[in-house]
Structure 1
């Protein structure tokens, strides 16, 4: 069952790419590189790495997605990694256990639940494209420890308006 939680601002290092549904690796595969980049500078992750969806244009199979690694305190970006902060606010959260391919069903249920509750997202739609203020998938399972995607734990956090 989804929950509504209040979350503070959270600093992170990220990289943003425009991708398609079949090219997620262009952004997601950079997470390990970011963790190493942080370690070289004496910083470690301060939470689960995530994918942040900025723009979703499903009719044209175009997504603007950011991979991010949270940090305890702001860190200056470098190269194609930028420093940013997730916005504070009220978020609807839900957890999923299993293969990431299952997420579409979990997201569909989450969106339906929020609609039934009369909740409004921090999202605008223009020309069929969804522009999200903060829509996250947090990857709680370390693939180096558990390579079986069917055993992964993923949390969703979608910010409310």
Structure 2
């Protein structure tokens, strides 16, 4: 069952890319590198790595997505890594257990639930393009520990207005 949780600002290091539905690897595959660069700095992640969706244009197959890793305190950007902060606020959150290919259905169920509850997402739509204030998929399962993607746990967090 989805819950509404108040989150404080959460700093992270990440990388942003404009991708298509078939090129998610260009951003998602950077998570391991970000974790490695944090280790080089002597910093452990402060939470699960995530994908943050900034804009979604399904008609044009164009998405602006960040791969990020939470950090305990703000850090400096380096090279093509950006230093940013997830905005504070109220988020609808739920956990999906299963293959990441099933996340689209889980998100649709969460959006439907929110509509039924009369909730307003931190979302604007212009010319068929969704622009999210903060829409996250947090990957709680370490693929080195559990390689079977059917056993992965992914938290979905969508910010409310």
TM-score category (smaller protein): over 0.9
Q: Which residue is 2:84 aligned to?
A: 84
Q: Which residue is 1:28 aligned to?
A: 28
Q: Which residue is 1:38 aligned to?
A: 38
Report deviation, 1:104.
1.1
Q: Which residue is 2:160 aligned to?
A: 160
Deviations 1:59-88 (A, max 9, x none): 111000000000001111101001000000
Q: Which residue is 1:2 aligned to?
A: 2
**SS state at 1:60 partner:** coil
Report deviation, 1:143.
0.7
Q: Which residue is 1:69 aligned to?
A: 69
Distance 2:37 2:4 in 1: 33
Distance 2:75 2:147 in 1: 29
Give the aligned length: 161
Query: Unpaired runs of 5+ in structure 2?
Result: none
**SS state at 2:59 partner:** helix
CA RMSD of aligned residues (A): 0.5
Distance 1:38 1:45 in 2: 7
Deviations 1:1-54 (A, max 9, x none): 111110000000010000000000000000000000011011110000000000
Distance 2:86 2:72 in 1: 13
- TM-score norm. by structure 1 comes to 0.99
Distance 2:43 2:75 in 1: 8
Q: Which residue is 1:60 aligned to?
A: 60
Distance 1:59 1:93 in 2: 27
**SS state at 1:43 partner:** coil
Distance 2:74 2:35 in 1: 15
**SS state at 2:44 partner:** coil
**SS state at 1:42 partner:** coil
Report deviation, 1:105.
1.1
Report deviation, 1:131.
0.3
